Structure 1
Amino acid sequence: MKTSDERKLWLGVLLRIADPVLVNLANDKLTMNMPYVRELDTDGKREKFARLEAFGRVFNGIAPWLNLAINKESEEYLLQLKYKDLALKSLDNITNPSTKDYVDFGCGPQCLVDAAYLCQGILRYQTICEELNEEVKENVVTELRKTRKYIVAENNWLLFASMVEVTLLKLKSKCDHKRLTRGVIKFMKKFYVGDAIYGDGKVFSLNYYNSFVIHPMLTDILVVTNEKKLTIKKYLDIQATRQRRYLEILERLISPEGTFPVLGRTITCRLGAFHSMAHSVLRGDISENISYGQIRAAMTAVLNKQFSDEQRNFTKDKWLKVGFIGEQLSIAEEYINIGSTYHTCSFFLPLGLSPTHQFWTDKSQKWTNLRIWNGEESIKDKALIEENLTELIKLKNKLKYKLKSMFI
């Protein structure tokens, strides 16, 4: 397959996934038309979050592409114009109290999770402040502030709170500095297990939360704090090194056939398991041991494996089914519903890179497992060893303080 055809494949799948959410929400009809799986929530307690859950995740994944400068003579540009209009109208409707699809971000703790994914999309849509009118921006800020009333657990929810606050900072609104920094410090100093893996709190579980949430959110938060010169910016280089190593791990999880291990909770997010890989590609910060050509080839193999049969993963009305391949309610947790599955959109972040970027133009190459299982030479795997990292950070800060004191 030509690399240009691969990009068309990726974009086609993304828009097929995102279309019903954005079209309905932009027309204020998401509440009316979005299905809900009653078997997973018999009391209907989580249904009020469903719209924000779906839109936040779609926007998270599609935002870099909406922000991309595209050749105005291309077919892709016309598609971008269409979906940019739908996405911005959707953002207006979901934060506007006068619409049917409005979601009150203060209606329950789940809104913090969904707001954080929306916020990450806002950060990735770098020109969004120029494209939104003041009324919509004010509505967004008002709703985000409501999430401050939720006390967060000692796990990935800490990063959801940090993401909301750093987005408020980016939107030139006042942020809660303690709420912004607490999650970052906890993960960097308390929850790191080693070899680029964070525990989701103090207890380690083998799942994809390092990719779903932890690495992408930690990095995005630290990038903004670095721009704003906050003290926690000192962790950015360390986190970037860890995420590069985690990219190597994710790449090695892809089998020669394009499958990957189905393990841990929230696996119904499907391709969202590769959020961190896609994020590394978008940032242009990949390991020197991996080429863009092999990452694209591996990701395309996974995409084809999971979405080549449209009938299996979509309802007749084009909504995603709850499952990994097709509908599999038996593997869904109690907090999962159709909206959750749209986290799969985070896989498509590389579409935010120009068609002329080497991720899209480099020749396809065999990924690690494909080479090794074919009996070919490859690069041996090496763990990321960080000896006395905390002590080095403390020493660096002490030296800075002493040097500063000498000139006071």
Structure 2
Amino acid sequence: MFRRKFINNLSAMGLGAFLPANNLSAKELLEIPSGKKDRKYWATLLNKIVYPVYSNLAEGTLVQNMPIYSPSIYDGRNNVTYLEAVGRSTAGVAPWLALPDDESNEGKTRLILKNLFLEGISKGVDPNSPDVLNFEKERQPIIDAGHLAHGLLRAPEALWAPLSQETKRRLVNKFKVLRTRKIHNNNWLIFRALTECFLLEVGEDFKKEPIDHALKSFEEWYIGDGWFKDGVKFSFNYYNSFAMHPMLVDTLQILVKHGLAQQETYDLALKRMIRHCVSLERMISPEGTFPLIGRSITYRTGAFHALAMLSLMEKLPETISPTQVRCALTAVKKNLLVDEIFDQNGWLNLGFKGKQPNVADYYTSTGSLYMTTLSFVPLGLPETNEFWSGPYTDWTTKLAWSGKDFPKDFQVQF
């Protein structure tokens, strides 16, 4: 389906061939609307992050070329890190790739990434490929199959429909084989539920029990004011945003579509996610930094997945404008996603702002780091959307600490 010639030509031309050249004068740059500049920055950065993963998977060189950075003496990371990189990248980049093809520089970049994914995932489930992705060993693939399923659900026409029937069959079987694996009783439940919802959505047989178990557990774990416990005990970290709110809302959306859940249940989950994001937006400092709380801080800007997803859904509360989210997240990205987060070959380094392996958790490896792409999902909004077309806007803490008026906050219970 995807000609080898395309991949060879792409490899020869390199990533920069499709990124827009900056030949504008300083005056012309100042006249460009801030949202247009922000979008170019986001798109270029996301492409830089994802391109090594997708291009190597398409070439059959992911295992050969992707380094395994990990603080753990556990030697099983090579069994899981490659699917981590592919699944997490896909969840973050999918809304952008779902946009219609066009002849802009950005459109050409999207088309390249889309074709690389389609070529690559066919190799990733081919048992004869050197890059065949592991779904059969360890428990970690439960998580990253969930991310991959999330990406396919976010861009079905771009990333699922064009696949060959053989590739679809193989991928479905990979998802089903995960049912044999014991699962942790925490946020992991929603990953398995969303994978089963993907099977439901594409017309395959699915298991409802894991979905029901996840929904029942999440309702028990809700402690109020937009926060879930991550299992039986509360942990102050970003997993509510990394996965719990976004995946719960999308799981319920599919169930409502298929008549397996009530609209009121979905509406309640969305209200709770909105409330969580009010707090999340206020965690971004006037300087564009955020608190280093809890585990998995090496997932970097993935901490703002829920806020980014609400922006994509155009469901932000009245007290938060799309433009202030864009400006706040742009400030965070410019502070954090600096050159030092990449190694000499363009792979993400283990760390936070640079190479800092000591801040990584024992389960973290190179592939884990691609969770940072989840903050980029508003690129799925067209450039004419208010998120991108609106003027520069200060976010809540920037207003407050500069002595300007800002909306006060108060707890909300649902």
TM-score (norm 2): 0.90
Query: 2:317 maps to which residue?
Result: 287
Q: Which of these residues, 226, 242, 249, is aligned with residue 196 of structure 1?
A: 226
Query: 1:66 maps to which residue?
Result: 97
Query: 2:395 maps to which residue?
Result: 367
CA contact (8 A) 2:42 2:376 kept: yes
Distance 2:161 2:152 in 1: 12
Distance 1:321 1:233 in 2: 42
SS at match of 2:156: coil
- 61-70 or 339-348: which moved more? 61-70
CA contact (8 A) 2:143 2:191 kept: yes
SS at match of 2:223: strand
Q: Which of these residues, 291, 311, 336, is aligned with residue 261 of structure 1?
A: 291
What amino acid does structure 2 have at the position aligned with 1:262?
A: L
SS at match of 1:193: strand
Q: Deviations over 1:227-275 (max 9, x none)?
A: 1110365410001101111111111000000000011000000000001
Q: Deviations over 1:177-208 (max 9, x none)?
A: 111221022102x0001000000011001000
Q: Which of these residues, 27, 39, 64, is aligned with residue 7 of structure 1?
A: 39
In the TM superposition, 1:299-378 aligns within 5 A as 299-307=329-337, 309-310=338-339, 312-378=340-406
Distance 1:144 1:344 in 2: 23
What amino acid does structure 1 have at the position aligned with 2:372?
A: T
What amino acid does structure 2 have at the position aligned with 1:66?
A: L
What amino acid does structure 1 have at the position aligned with 2:401?
A: W
Query: 1:121 maps to which residue?
Result: 151
CA contact (8 A) 1:129 1:171 kept: no
TM-score (norm 1): 0.91
Offset at residue 41 of structure 1 (A): 3.0
Q: Deviations over 1:325-348 (max 9, x none)?
A: 111111111100111010000010
Distance 2:331 2:343 in 1: 23
**Unmatched runs of 5 consecutive residues or more in structure 2:** 1-32
Offset at residue 152 of structure 1 (A): 1.7
Rate the CA distance shift 1:98–1:234 in 2: closer, same or farther, 3 A: farther
Distance 2:180 2:263 in 1: 26
Query: 1:18 maps to which residue?
Result: 50
Give the fraction of aligned pairs with identical amino acids, expressed as a percent: 36
**Unmatched runs of 5 consecutive residues or more in structure 1:** 387-408
Q: Deviations over 1:261-315 (max 9, x none)?
A: 01100000000000111111111111111111111111111111112x31x1110
CA contact (8 A) 2:193 2:210 kept: yes
Distance 1:148 1:58 in 2: 23
Task: Please tell me the root mean square deviation across aligned C-alpha atoms, in Å.
Answer: 1.2
Aligned length: 381
Query: 1:141 maps to which residue?
Result: 172
Offset at residue 5 of structure 1 (A): 1.1
SS at match of 1:131: coil
Distance 2:262 2:347 in 1: 40
What amino acid does structure 2 have at the position aligned with 1:25?
A: L
In the TM superposition, 1:178-193 aligns within 5 A as 178-188=209-219, 190-193=220-223
